[in-house]
Structure 1
């Protein structure tokens, strides 16, 4: 069975007082999921906005990925099958 679809992702970044916030929205056409992430410049660090954008966006995308996997697991369970066991270990930058 062949299947092709397109999902759209929108990422919004905002920065205020050294804190960057990211919001990412996945639109599948029939559903929408949102992820969020933040980054904050440490007091002694040089304020480089693009680095805050990268950290916040990465965290928002990771959050979205986690939410999408949970949705898929829920859908699998609703179909009467057991979800795939989780084997991955959390990683990434400190929050």
Structure 2
């Protein structure tokens, strides 16, 4: 089955007093997801706005990605055949390294 869609992504960056905040909004046409991220500049570091933008944007996209994986896993559970569960189906993605797993 062929399947082609276009998802729209908008990334907003806000910087004030050494703190950069990012908000990324994904519109799938049927759902909308929002990821958030922030970066804080050490007062002793040079003011290089691009670095704050990159960190905050990356963190917002990481948050968005986490949400998409969670939704996909719930959707998989919802369409699983009776009698199957998380222990009987294969992983849906590569496992995260230990340093990227949530607490």
Q: Scaled by the length of structure 2, what TM-score is found? A: 0.82
- Structure 1 match to 2:67: 67
Residue 88 of structure 1 aligns to a residue whose secondary structure is: coil
Alignment of 1:1-95 (within 5 A): 1-80=1-80, 82=86, 84=91, 87-89=95-97, 90=100
Greater C-alpha Rg = 2
The CA deviation string for residues 36-55 of structure 1, in whole angstroms up to 9 with x for no partner, is: 00001012101111110000
Unaligned ranges ≥5, structure 2: none
Equivalenced residue count is: 91
Structure 1: 4+ residue segments shifted above 3 A: none
* More RCO (CA 8 Å, sep 6+): 1
Which 5+ residue runs of structure 1 have no aligned equivalent?
none
The two structures, once aligned, show a CA RMSD in angstroms of 1.7
TM-score, with length taken from structure 1: 0.88
Q: 2: distance between equivalents of 1:78 and 1:35?
A: 24
